[in-house]
């Protein structure tokens, strides 16, 4: 935890990323908000980053599990060696 009130952009970017996965603390989020009041670039980036999170959530995208992929690979490999 940083007690310094000022973030640099790199730290702001990191907190912003963590916030997308609900891993940023309240304090970090507060510092990020303060930073974005002064830094237009980070403000823009924060907005885009949040949009990406929203889009992925909204899409309800599904992936095959590692197990399922393994079995697909196994199938394919068997066929390739024949």
Partner 1 sequence: MNESLYNQHMPSHSLHPETWVDRYSDYLYNYTIVRVNDHIVAQDLISETFLAGLKSKKNFKGNASERTWLIAILKRKIIDHYRKKNSKKGQAEVHINYTDDDMEGDWLEERVKDPYYKSAEDKLENSELRLAILECLDTLDERHAAIFKMKTIDNFDTEAICNEYNITPSNLWVIIHRARKAMANCLEKNWL
For residue 63, state whether it binds partner 1 (rule: CB under 8 A). yes
Q: C-beta of 24: minimal distance to partner 1 in Å?
A: 12
For residue 43, state whether it binds partner 1 (rule: CB under 8 A). no
Q: Name the strand (E) or helix (H) holding 80.
A: helix 66-81
Q: Among 1-9, 25-33, 35-43, 67-75, which window interacts with partner 1 (CB under 8 A)?
A: 67-75
DSSP character for 8?
P
Which residues are CB-neighbours of 11 under 8 A, at least 6 positions away? 2
Q: How far apart are the first and last CA of the chain?
A: 58
Q: Among 1-9, 32-40, 52-60, which window interacts with partner 1 (CB under 8 A)?
A: 52-60
């Amino acid at each position: 935890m940083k007690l310094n009130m000022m973030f640099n952009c790199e730290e702001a970017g990191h907190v912003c990323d963590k916030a997308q996965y609900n891993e940023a603390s309240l304090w970090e989020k507060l510092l990020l908000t303060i930073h974005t009041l002064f830094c237009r670039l980070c403000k823009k980036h924060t907005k885009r980053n949040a949009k990406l999170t929203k889009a992925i959530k909204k899409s309800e995208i599904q992936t095959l599990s590692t197990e399922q992929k393994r079995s697909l690979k196994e199938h394919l490999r068997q066929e390739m060696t024949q």
